[in-house]
Chain A
Amino acid sequence: MEFAQQLLNALSLGAIYALIALGFTMVYGVLRFINFAHSDVFMIGAVVGSLLGNHLPMGTWWGGLACLLAAMAVCALLGVVIERVAYRPLRDAPRLNVLITSIGVSLLIEYLFQNEHVFGAAPRPFPPVFPSVLWQWQGLSISSNQLIVIGVALVLVVALELIVYRTRIGTAMRAISLNPRAAQLVGINPDVVVAFTFALGSALAGAGGVLYALNYQSVEPLMGVMPGLKAFVAAVLGGIGSIPGAALGGLLIGGIETFIGGSQFSTYKDAIAFALLILILLFRPTGLLGRRIPEKV
């Protein structure tokens, strides 16, 4: 029973890592750089959800969904703004410059939110926006929040897969990721596609933020740092650029962390997770589901 409980814990944690990892992977797939501000967009999603949640009746389905959608919308917009202001002017600069800019954007958001007049540094409670039920069955405790986290994450991953493989804009995203110049030649506007990619990735991060806050019930400006780092690892582990890879990586990292966390080695859970990452990358440099990208000549 302890094993089943840990499995459930692992799924709900891994689902959130997967959602954040998808944002990393999509931006990387299209622009070939890691957007480190992504984990702060995640935090802003949680903040938006908590601000709205405080004005809605607690424990209703429509209230919870409203929080989730609002956070996704605000984060999508924010993602587009960040890309327009910080990354687009650097599109032709070396990748390293954009990477460093994204770290700058990340720190800017973190310290802005720690200001007392914006949010403040102390954690605040996250309102119980969704109906909360606790089922007890033979010593196994299942909270409705955990199921909501897993369910919403599953729906979003499927939706994303459909957008990328079944729509015109998804096709354009894949085209840009394969060959930006050729995509432009056949009439794809890279600005629109990149903005859309950021909107999509950031909306997922926003949803992840709300789900994470729902699961752990507190919000603070630095809450994105560790989940962001783990999700980044998950994206690399699964094969950066691959959507199923990011989902698998997220679940794996969540699982490793949970099972080691419950053992006598709990202190080393992060160290072991990262060590495993190094091992996998040694033997499969492109990650578990990543494809080898042939060097263009």
Chain B
Amino acid sequence: MISRFRQIAVFSLLALLSSVLHAAEADPIKIGEITSLTGKEAAYGQSAHKGTLLAIEELNAADGVLGRQLKLITEDNQTKAGESATAARKLISRDKVVALLGEVASSRSLEIAPIAQSSKIPMVSPASTNPKVTAVGTYIFRLCFIDPFQGPVMAKFAHEDLGLRRVAVLTSVSSAYSVGLSKFFKERFLSEGGEIAIEQKYSEGDKDFRSQLTAIKATGVGGIFIPGYYSEVALIAKQARELGITAVLFGGDGWDAPQLMQIGGAALEGCYYSTHYSPEDTSPAVQNFVKNYKARFNDETPDAIAALGYDSALVLADAIKRAGSTEPDAVRGALAATRNFMGVTGNTSIDADRNAAKPAVVLAIKYGRINFFKSVVP
């Protein structure tokens, strides 16, 4: 009798164990990530990737989503045009991902978006600020503010906080981001009664800006708006100071990378830029994120792109949770219904155009470090 009871006990224990094991073995939820781990904008891609990876690891440590683990499949587009589209096709058709995260750069998000839209797979861009990205279709979302918001914010800031009336604009013509930001900046600055004394242009990857800067110097403007990426901005700042230009330089979130200060150093003293978050924010969510990120990645302080990468994974996971399914249409619906999600980059709601509406932060470079200057609410 005892042995019979024992048999049943052992059997039921085994059954229980196998069901637990089976649950743990349930297929992971596959999420595709397209980013630049190599190439000239790799600093952004790697930041976004690290943020996303941290979020996925934290979610998995907390038993994943819907009782299933998350599996992040990362594709490197090498910062090259065309590679993102190939990666998107591969992730959707071969890996059968539930959703796509990426890209940081607007130009490359615009490659992925039409493919995600036609395959009806939701895509969440962490940091593409060009308005055209989410306009591609109903499956495309973003977690950052857009250029028509950021450009005017900086125009207003230049006019009111810096007291500038005559500025120069230095645009990177090979980046949709820079061209967009310049356009919205100019419109607002002109309507505030300001004057654009000169507009100069360069291309991504250029190293020599002395010729453009020499032309700008001749106009004697008080400020130069540079809506570019840190890799060029740092060099522009150094060369501007070498040419004896003392004008205040200011720009957008493309400046936000640890390498900006490493390369630009003292040349950036007294410059300003707008971005999505400040690691100095004292809210527990931000401080906790900064602490975990530093512990995971070599004591690096996360930049705004890392924070957006982190939030993009969390918002997607939250949508899958609320949808109660990994079916792309249900996830898309839940993403669109995201309201007041408290991420590290602020309170995120997805609006009717699938953009995140959230405040911008203006940072000032003073005494060799980056300081919080003010927060601008739309």
Contacts and interface: CB of A to CB of B under 8 A. Distances in A.
Interface string A154-187: 0000000000000000000000000000000000
Contacts of A9: 208, 210-211, 214
Nearest to A136: B244
Contacts of A141: 242-244
Interface stretch (B32-40, B100-108, B247-255, B273-281): B32-40
B372 interface: no
Interface string B193-204: 000000011110
A136 B217 CA distance: 13
Contacts of A212: 207
B211 A258 contact: yes
Most buried by B among A123, A145, A215, A259: A123
B42 A121 contact: yes
B46 interface: yes
B365 interface: no
A78 to B, nearest CB: 22
Interface in B1-49: 37-40, 42-43, 46
A257 to B, nearest CB: 8
B208 A218 contact: no
Nearest to A223: B207
B117 interface: no
A125 B262 contact: yes
Interface string A114-125: 100000111111
Question: Number of contact residues on B: which range applies?
Answer: 35 or more
Contact of A134 (B39, B46, B205, B242): B242
A262 interface: yes
Interface residues of A, number: 41
Given A2-B214, A2-B218, A114-B38, A125 B208 contact: no
A217 B214 contact: no
Interface in A125-143: 125, 134, 136, 139, 141, 143
A97 interface: no
A141 B207 CA distance: 19
Nearest to A115: B38
A83 interface: no
A188 to B, nearest CB: 40
A189 interface: no
Contacts of A120: 42
B263 A218 contact: yes
Contacts of A13: 208, 210
A121 B207 CA distance: 16
A6 interface: yes
B238 interface: yes
Contact of A216 (B38, B39, B207): B207
A266 B212 contact: yes
A267 interface: yes
B215 A2 contact: yes
A121 B208 contact: no
A226 interface: yes
A220 interface: yes
A215 B235 CA distance: 10
B39 A121 contact: yes
Interface string A3-25: 00110011001000000000000
Given A124-B262, A218-B263, A258 B210 contact: yes
A222 interface: yes
Nearest to B242: A143
A125 B263 CA distance: 5
Contacts of A6: 210-211, 214
B292 interface: no
Nearest to A134: B242
Contacts of B262: 124-125
A285 interface: no
Interface in A142-156: 143, 145
B328 interface: no
A109 to B, nearest CB: 14
B231 A218 contact: yes
A190 interface: no
A220 B242 contact: no
A68 B206 CA distance: 23
B265 interface: yes
27 contacts: A2-B217, A5-B217, A9-B210, A13-B210, A121-B37, A121-B38, A121-B40, A121-B43, A122-B43, A123-B40, A123-B43, A125-B265, A143-B242, A212-B207, A216-B208, A218-B231, A220-B40, A222-B40, A223-B207, A258-B210, A261-B202, A261-B211, A261-B212, A266-B200, A267-B202, A267-B203, A270-B203
Interface of A: 1-2, 5-6, 9-10, 13, 111, 114, 120-125, 134, 136, 139, 141, 143, 145, 212, 215-218, 220, 222-223, 226-227, 257-263, 266-267, 270
